[in-house]
Amino acid sequence: MKRSKTGPTGIVQVSSERGRKVNVMQMFDLTDQVAVITGAANGLGYVIAEAMAEAGAHVVCGDIDTDGNERTAERVRALGRSALAVRCDVTNEADVAALFEQADKEFGRVDIAFANAGIADPVPGPVHEYQTEHWNSVLAVNLQGVFFTDREALKIMVRQERGKLINVASMWGLAGASSVFPIPAYNATKGAVVNLTRELALEYAPHNIQVNAICPGFFRTRLAGGAYDDPDFVAAITAFTPMDRVAEAEEMKGTALYLASAASSYTTGLMMVSDGGCMAK
């Protein structure tokens, strides 16, 4: 039997002591915790921000889309939580450092961080036709950006001796995508994020920091421009998906909350797939 207690910051802590029950819903409660989310302006970042706020957290939003970022922050405030919208290009290490410094200055801690900002291959195609410039642009956001984000989050989390760090990878970090379309740079970065997550899970387990990744399948967002508005693209990915449909972005909320909360207190180094069954094939 596990025991819960409320720590000095009001955060539910779950210990292994026997004797008291903790209500399972309490494990998902993020009241007064602080979450930093990159790529918060749109798509999965927006719904992750909404989920964090609905569960009680204050949210620091980082994105290059300043209008979208402010919209997300407004949504968080409408839910009764505090929010900061910080312009942050995750390819710029000074921007990422400033994002976490502002979060720390405003709230005095960072309990949860999502390295979520990401881009698709600018021009999908096989490697022998792939441009170096496009390769570098994908690596800069999807891999270097995750490194910068994880590093700044971990500086604060090590000081706190606690934290939840979540990298948004992809199911294409676990398998090649060319049976659907050739996206070599995206695949390479997401595979690297998967293994970086495992490495960080091991490095930071002694610091009471859990590091996990989400590996989404096909979620309807702005990723890849208007691809999700293209009926041929949607037909192709639907045919590939055992559940025979694309997910709505909102369907990411439960996965995000599980990994951000005490519900996953004994989970680290997990690649949490949410893909309508694609990786089960």
Ligand X SMILES: NC(=O)c1ccc[n+]([C@@H]2O[C@H](COP(=O)([O-])OP(=O)(O)OC[C@H]3O[C@@H](n4cnc5c(N)ncnc54)[C@H](O)[C@@H]3O)[C@@H](O)[C@H]2O)c1
What minimum distance in Å lies between the beta carbon of 217 and ligand X? Answer: 6
- Contacting residue, 29, 50, 89, 121, with ligand X by CB under 6 A: 89
CB of 245 closer than 8 Å to CB of 276: yes
- Which of residues 11, 60, 86, 90 is near ligand X by CB under 6 A? 90
The tokens 């749109």 sit on which residue? 42
Q: Give whole-number Cα distances, 182 to 142, 230, 251, in Å.
A: 17, 17, 26
Going by the DSSP 8-state scheme, the letter that residue 12 receives in this structure is: E
List, in order, residues 6 or more apart from 265 with CB less than 8 Å away. Answer: 14, 27, 210
Closest CA relative to residue 249, chosen from 59, 58, 41: 41
User: In terms of CB distance, is 193 or 262 closer to ligand X?
Assistant: 193
Among 212, 216, 227, 256, contact with ligand X (rule: CB under 6 A):
216
Binding status of residue 194 toward ligand X by CB under 6 A: no
SS (H, E, C) 59-123: EEEEECCHHHHHHHHHHHHHCCCCEEEEECCCCCHHHHHHHHHHHHHHHCCCCEEEECCCCCCCC
Question: Helices 132-139 and 184-204: crossing angle, nearest 10°?
Answer: 30
Size of the site for ligand X (CB under 6 A): 29
Scanning 8-16, 111-119, 125-133, 261-269 for contacts with ligand X by CB under 6 A, the matching segment is: 111-119
Q: Quick one: which of 88, 166, 174, 196 contacts ligand X (CB under 6 A)?
A: 88
**Can you state the percent helix, strand and coil of the chain, rounding each to 5?**
50, 20, 35
Least distance between ligand X and beta carbon 276 (Å): 11
Q: Does 168 bind ligand X (CB under 6 A)?
A: yes
Site residues for ligand X, 12-51, by CB under 6 A, read: 38-39, 41-45
Taking CB under 6 A as the criterion, the residue among 221, 241, 255, 261 binding ligand X is 221
Question: Which of the residues 120 through 159 are near ligand X (CB under 6 A)?
Answer: 141, 145
The number of beta carbons lying within 10 Å of the beta carbon of residue 62 is 31
User: Which of the residues 46, 130, 186, 258 is marked catalytic?
Assistant: 186
Near ligand X by CB under 6 A: residue from 33, 91, 268, 274: 91
Backbone angles phi, psi at 271, to 5 degrees: -100, 100
Contact 194, 258 (CB under 8 A): no
Q: Any catalytic annotation for residue 204?
A: no
CA distances from residue 22 to 15, 175, 183, 257 in whole angstroms, order as listed: 10, 38, 45, 17
CB of 201 to ligand X, least distance (A): 19
Q: Is 223 in the site for ligand X (CB under 6 A)?
A: yes
Identify which range of 15-23, 100-108, 147-155, 221-229 contacts ligand X by CB under 6 A.
221-229
Q: For binding to ligand X (CB under 6 A), which residues are involved?
A: 38-39, 41-45, 63-65, 68, 88-91, 116-119, 141, 145, 168, 170, 216, 218-219, 221-223
Q: Which are the catalytic amino acids? A: 186
